[in-house]
Amino acid sequence: MMLTVDTTILDNLTEKAKTSPRLRMNYNFHPANESACHRLLNAIELGSYIRPHCHLDSEKDETFVLLRGRLGVICFDASGNVTETALLVAGTDQAVVTIPYGIFHTAVSLAPGTIFFEAKAGPYLPFSNAEIASWAPLDTAPEASGYLQHLCAIFNSP
């Protein structure tokens, strides 16, 4: 049966993200973590911190298509220096980005109700130590909030 993503699905996902401790929530289209292709909606609210990471598997390029809101995407070198940024704005020609495997990256919500479609190869595997940015604070570290503010400021957003 075909699924149409409508306002109800998007609104419900945003509400779940708002009440989630991490201020984000997925809506998976793929049936299992073991699936070869992962397709999902990712709702991310202001204040959600995604620790910079990379995917070392050569099949794990990621593509984001912004459906609602504003999303800042940031790429880094291995030392944590910003190498590229993209400001995605829903409904414009600046709404899609593909991040090649092996590139450290993160995304920051710049508007309430931000939702993007994400596609990447599966299966889901926890990050290896080499895929986690050792120069970025842990999600639970006290300095994560300040680091997130720094990342948002790249896009002139508090």
What pLDDT does 121 receive? Answer: 97
CATH of domain 7-153: 2.60.120.10
Whether residue 142 contacts residue 65, with contact meaning beta carbons closer than 8 Å, is answered with no
Name 48's bridge partners.
Answer: none
The ranges assigned to domains in the chain are: 7-153
Q: How far apart are CA 50 and CA 139, in angstroms?
A: 7
The pTM of the full predicted model, rounded to 2 decimals, is 0.95
Q: How far apart are CA 137 and CA 30, in angstroms?
A: 30
pLDDT at 158 over 80: no
pLDDT band at 75; cut points 50, 70, 90: very high
Sign of CA dihedral 26, 73, 141, 103: positive
What type of residue sits at position 143? Answer: E
What is the tens place of the pLDDT at every residue in 78-91?
999 999 999 999 99
